[in-house]
Amino acid sequence: MKNLVLPSLRSFAAIFFPKLCPGCMNPLHETERVICWVCQLSLPQTDHPWDFQNELWEKMNQFGRIERVVSLFDFHKNSRVQSLLHQLKYKGQQEIGEFLGNWIAPQIMASKVFSEVDAVLPLPLHPERFQQRGYNQVQKFSDCLAHHLGLPVVNDLVVRKKKTRSLVKIKNTDRWEEVDNAFAVKGYQNNTFKHFLLVDDVITTGATLSSCANALLEACGGSISFVALASRLS
């Protein structure tokens, strides 16, 4: 009897409380998982895993030597990508990060764009923001990438010591000052990693990732690469 009741309850819940696609906010079909097929086919994916000196890499290397820079999608306002990232960052849908990690990992492995990397480092949140949100929005994405690449995830080397304002509300020209000296590296004397892959959700000016990279390079030396779920060049 129990085996009959549970599927019935699930069907009832699916009718009245359907799971929505975080990209278009339409109900998911029973065969779809996390993101609907329409969104998957229409999301503006980049060729960064295959183009090692792409436009984003050129942009980020204006501010310091970065080995490789990859984003999965192009970011535009009022787009499916923005909706995906909003649901991931503010609505607790951490499964989006894992889904996108599984999406991009085969390309990264095939292209060997990060073949020299030896550790994955999710960009840390300030402790107060982490407590408010309850999670780091790029943790699942980072964990998934690291799993596929056979690399460790480093969560305790870098801390965000400065509680910055939301950069969305700050002009691009002021973001660099806002995140200046925002990160600190602890226990760097015991660090053995030589090439970190820093992970963020969106690259716009690149100020936050650059600030973290500078702190890492100053304390540990070595090399840095970036990966993000999305990026906007202008």
Closest by CA to 121, choosing from 228, 231, 230, is 228
CATH fold of the domain at 43-231:
Rossmann fold (3.40.50)
The structure's pTM equals 0.90
Read off the pLDDT of each residue in 105-130 and give the average, rounded to a whole number: 97
Could you state, in order of their start, the residue ranges of all structural domains in the chain?
1-42, 43-231
Local confidence band at 7 (pLDDT 50, 70, 90 cut-offs)? low
Q: What is the pLDDT of residues 162-219, one digit of tens each?
A: 888 777 777 777 788 888 899 999 988 889 999 999 999 999 999 999 999 999 999 9
- For position 51, what pLDDT does the model report? 97
Read off the pLDDT of each residue in 10-28 and give the average, rounded to a whole number: 79
- For position 99, what pLDDT does the model report? 98
Local confidence band at 9 (pLDDT 50, 70, 90 cut-offs)? very low
- For position 16, what pLDDT does the model report? 57
> Is 6's pLDDT higher than 80?
no
Local confidence band at 227 (pLDDT 50, 70, 90 cut-offs)? very high
- For position 177, what pLDDT does the model report? 85
- Residue entry with tokens 């690449």: 149
Query: What's the 3-state SS for 55-104?
Result: HHHHHHCCCCCCCCEEEEEECCCCCHHHHHHHHHHHCCCCHHHHHHHHHH
- DSSP result, 13-44: HHHHSPPBPTTT-PBPPTT--SS-HHHHHHS-
